Structure 1
Amino acid sequence: MKILKLSFLIIIYFVIAVTIAYYAKELLIDDNNTPVMIIGYIVQGCTAALLIYFSSRLVQKNKS
């Protein structure tokens, strides 16, 4: 059950990261957007999402 919940959260965070990467690509004015940059934005989005997730978990543990 815990693994299912975790995988569900990872999928949600991945979708958010892809959305962030897409809008970041749209905001760039340069025409020569390389896939490497897009992958970089996806990695940044995933990293930010994981940081938010783990920090929220720490806050929940401290409250209890």
Structure 2
Amino acid sequence: MELEELTPEIVALMRKLINNPSPVADSPLLRLLLADRLVMGSPAKVHLTSQGHRMLAAYAAKEP
């Protein structure tokens, strides 16, 4: 996934998972994040990977 592809929904979910692994509804959004290895786990307990942390930090640095 490229930085330009991050939608507000993806960013919101990733921010939710920063410090709180939690259940996430199985959806195409979750499947996309799992495929790109930005998150790990199962829908019952999802957490952000180090790659996800880096992507989110780059997104935050790019925001005005």
Asked if Structure 1 and Structure 2 have the same fold, meaning a TM-score greater than 0.5 normalized by the shorter chain, the answer is no
Larger Rg: 1
Instruction: Return the structure number with greater relative CO, CA threshold 8 A, min gap 6.
Output: 1
TM-score (norm 2): 0.28
Q: Which has the higher helix share?
A: 1
State TM-score, norm by structure 1.
0.28
